[in-house]
Amino acid sequence: MPELDTGATAWVLTSAALVLFMTPGLALFYGGMVRSKNVLAMLMQNVFAMGIVTVLWVLVGYSLAFGDAGNGGWLGNLDFLGLKDLANTSSGAIPALAFVAFQLTFAVITPALITGAIADRMRWAAWVWFIGLWSLLVYLPVAHWVFAGGWLAHRGALDFAGGTVVHINAGAGALALVLLLGRRRGWPQEAMPPHSLPLTLLGTGILWFGWFGFNAGSALAADHVAATAFVNTFVAAAAAMLGWLVVERVRSGHATTLGAASGAVAGLVAITPCAGFVGSLAALAIGAVAGAVCFLAIQLKYRFGYDDALDVVAVHLVGGIIGSILLGVFADATVNPAGTDGVLFGGGFGLLGEQVLAVVAVFAFSFAVSGLLGVALRAVLPGGIRVSAEDEAGGLDLTQHAETGYAFELVAGGHR
């Protein structure tokens, strides 16, 4: 057994906790953007991911994602069912269970990202089935391809912390599910303004904070690469906030709070695949491009008429594609010898080609399997996947969970 690196172990365990915190952060980010009658349903769909994905991860998930690692395959194996034989073993210089915990937090937040697209209209029971099966059928294979030395990693595609596995994967799944669910009643004519942008801003802060664990933790070490990823994460989010605000101010007349929050998140998404492979100025450029382009990408839903309620496609799918592709341009092997040189650093177009292939492969797989899963659930579940018109009008909080998000009334008028 190789000797444990205590610094690396401490950092990865800390990072796992940071990344787990992102899921309630995401819940607040999204929860503030929906109408008040749907706030609890949004929080619940996210927080539930921490429950179901964790249980699945222990039973089969980790094994199917990270079994048979490093062999260029399509899926793991059953060697680690129930986390069998992992206690007191190492994964490189850290305990295997530290790696299990760290990767689990990625598996938790990825399907949670989808909730923003399907807001206000998905049946709770349908979400329970969807997230469980999506984790197994979509997340685990893609995580194996990229994070466990599967076929994409073997070909030479780079993804430092999950541009493909997390963001393109979730974005493509969100797009497929939105097309199946249909638009919210009244969209896009009726105004559906965010009910609490302060919640959204709080969520943005938690996401940014947790993203340091997401990206710098992905170094799986407490070293120079981790610090590079940390700084790049910081820089890209800041540049993207400015990029979004500039374009927003020019196009729609105001620099908005929601724009600042959205821009920062777009930058965090785009830097995710690049974080440990590029220099600081490249991170600035990647962030600025992501902020501007993701804002413009929101228009796609109006152009094509799909109701991606909180812009998961524009921020996560488009942001993930921007980061994954630009990595083929900006990757710099002097920053991280484990990486490759991109177009700008004399590496030619080889890496860029692999990045494009990885983007297309993950998008196509996730979109197809998510779509098939949605179609199957719509056919099999007695109530379908969408709430009734009446329940949609009444709000998901009350109709799906029998709760109210805000009870400010002096007189409740209830009795038992």
Query: How far is C-alpha 227 from the geometric centre of its chain's CA atoms?
Result: 22
Q: Are 127 and 45 in contact (CB under 8 A)?
A: yes
Determine how many CB atoms are found less than 10 A away from the CB of residue 69: 17
Cβ closer to other proteins: 141 or 259? Answer: 259
Closest CB 252 distance from other proteins, rounded Å: 5
Report the nearest approach of other proteins to the CB of residue 209 (Å): 23
**CB closer to other proteins, 296 vs 357:** 296
Q: How far is the CB of 314 from other proteins (least distance, A)?
A: 8
Residue closer to other proteins by CB (options 253, 382) is 253
Which residue, 128 or 255, is less far from other proteins as judged by CB?
255
**CA angle, residues 232, 237, 243, in degrees to nearest 5:** 120
Helix (H/G/I), strand (E/B), else coil: 81: helix
- Considering the complex, state which of residue 167 and residue 195 has its C-beta at the smaller distance from other proteins: 195
Give the SS3 label for residue 307. coil
Q: How far is the CB of 247 from other proteins (least distance, A)?
A: 9
Is the preceding peptide bond at 188 cis, omega within 30 degrees of 0?
Answer: yes
B/e letters for 381-395, b = 16+ CB within 10 Å, e = fewer, are: eeebbbbeeebbeeb
φ/ψ (deg, to 5) at 84 = -60, 135
**Cβ of residue 75: shortest distance to other proteins, in angstroms?**
38
**Which residues have a Cβ under 8 Å from the Cβ of 120 and sit 6 or more positions away?**
34, 35, 38, 41, 184, 192, 309, 392, 396
Shortest distance in whole angstroms from residue 310 CB to other proteins: 9
Considering the complex, state which of residue 84 and residue 251 has its C-beta at the smaller distance from other proteins: 251
| Residues near other proteins, by CB under 8 A | 188, 191, 193-194, 248, 251-254, 256, 258-259, 262, 295, 298-299, 302, 311
How many CA atoms are closer than 13 Å to the CA of 291, on its beta-carbon side? 29
